[in-house]
Structure 1
Amino acid sequence: MHISAKSDYAIRAALEIAQREPDVVTADTIAGGQGLPRTFVVSILADLRRAGLVRAHRGSSGGYVLTRPASDVTLGSIIRAVDGPLGQVHGLRPDEVEYPGVAEHLPDVWVAVRSSLRLVLDGTTLQHALTGRLPAPVARMRDAPGAREPRAVPSWAS
């Protein structure tokens, strides 16, 4: 899976806001706290606002707050807000893809990939990421043999 810079920055920005709840957090504070380009942060915050994940406060003490508690905001919802649906194949949902011949069963793999993405990203909230106390299924995946190794073959595949 490729995690775009935009998704990575959006989650990091949301974590900066969540960490400072209930305070209003400026784009400058977010950018500085994570070493992100301010203009990119402002663009991302606009996407998060349109998705209803953050609310903007105007004025000299303006900035951003989450619209829900950090325990109710999933990483998947943030990624969808800035990059669209999880696990698309050529702009289609995996279950909409059809291939001829020897590749006819490949969409089943893409559906499984999307399902695993949903398990992790829709099961993990900003609160989980802030505290490091990940949900049990996510922690098991993180701790699985070979999980941190490049090109590891899962134990079930051997």
Structure 2
Amino acid sequence: MQISARADYALRALLTLAASDGQLVKGESLAQAQDLPLRFLENILTDLRRAGFVQSRRGADGGYQLGRPPGEITIASVIRVTDGPLASVRGRRPEDANYDGAAKNLQDVWIAVRVNLRRVLENVTLADVASGRLPDIVTSLSGEPGAWSAR
């Protein structure tokens, strides 16, 4: 799985908002807090606002705040807003991929990959990450031998 800059920036901005305890945060402050390009972040915030993840207020006292409690926003839901489906094969959903001959069972592999992505990403919320109290599946998988080794 490759995490796009859009998804990464969206999550970092949302986590910054989660840590702000409901206070309005200006876009410039969000960008500075996470060292993000402001123009790109503003486009991402527009998508997050449309999805209901953030609310915005204009004006001198304006800014952004979470549109939902951080415990209700999963990592998977943010990735879907920024990038679309969690797993795709040549731009299509794994269940739409068809293979013949020696590759006929490859679709089962792609479905299993998607299930495992969901197992992690649908069970981790902004509140989990912001608090540092990650679900057992995350601590278990990240603690496995070789988990931190590049391959």
Query: Which TM-score band applies after superposition, normalised by the shorter structure?
Result: over 0.9
Q: Supply the distance in 2 between the matched residues of 1:96 and 1:39 (Cα, whole angstroms).
A: 36
**Structure 1 spans left out of the alignment, 5+ residues:** 152-158
Corresponding residue for residue 19 of structure 1: 19
Match of 1:126 in 2: 126
What is residue 49 of structure 1 aligned with on the other side?
49
Provide the C-alpha distance between the structure 2 equivalents of 1:75 and 1:140, rounded to a whole number of angstroms: 18
Deviations 1:74-101 (A, max 9, x none): 1111111111111011121111111121
Q: Show the counterpart of 1:37.
A: 37
Cα shift readout 1:111-136 (whole Å, capped 9, x = no counterpart): 11111111111110011111221101
Letter of the structure 2 residue corresponding to residue 34 of structure 1: Q
Residues 52, 68 of structure 2: 8 Å contact kept: no
Amino acid at match of 1:41: L
Could you tell me which runs of 5 or more consecutive residues in structure 2 were left unpaired when the two chains were aligned.
none
Structure 1 position 58 matched with structure 2 position 24: no
Which gives a bigger RCO, structure 1 or 2 (Cα 8 Å, sep 6+)?
A: 2
Task: Tell me, in whole angstroms, the C-alpha distance in 2 between the residues paired with 1:85 and 1:21.
Answer: 30
Partner AA of 1:90 in structure 2: R
Q: Quick one: distance in 2 between partners of 1:134 and 1:80? A: 21
- State the alpha-carbon separation in 2 of the partners of residues 57 and 114 from structure 1: 37
CA separation in 1, counterparts of 2:62 and 2:110?
43
* Partner of residue 154, structure 1: none
- Match for residue 80 of structure 2? 80
- 2:145 pairs with 1:150: no
Distance 2:103 2:26 in 1: 49
Identity of aligned residues (%): 47
**Pairwise CA RMSD of aligned residues?**
0.9
